[in-house]
Amino acid sequence: MGRPKKRVSYGGRDVEGTPLSTTSTSEHWNQYLLEDGSIIRMKLVATEFLRIDGEYAADGNPVYVIRSTNVVAVESPEELRRPQ
């Protein structure tokens, strides 16, 4: 028995995708130094991978829909912080 399919919107259509799990991951932070001295750290965290059944990119690879969220951390100089 295969994995249960999941419905997802792709290309303006409601299509079926196959949920896939991962075996290894690596999530790196992007870091930005703003002119006001603040440091913004961001990373994209993938939460779900779906391979769209019967859909292929121009290079022949299957199409994947990846659900994700952004994680943001801010470190600002003391003078920019709210007074206590």
Q: Could you state, in order of their start, the residue ranges of all structural domains in the chain?
A: 6-78
Instruction: Provide the pLDDT for residue 2.
Output: 67
Residue 4's pLDDT is: 87
Predicted local distance difference test score (pLDDT) of residue 27 = 86
The DSSP code for 25 is: -
Q: How confident is the model at residue 1 (pLDDT cuts 50, 70, 90)?
A: low
Q: State residue 37's pLDDT score.
A: 98
- Contacts of residue 10, defined as CB under 8 A and 6 or more positions apart, other chains included, come to 17, 52, 55, 63, 65
In contact, 32 and 40? CB cutoff 8 Å: yes
Per DSSP, 3 falls in state: P
pLDDT (tens digit per residue) in 33-58: 999 999 999 999 999 999 999 999 99
Q: Tell me if 18 sits within 8 A of 1, measured CB to CB.
A: no
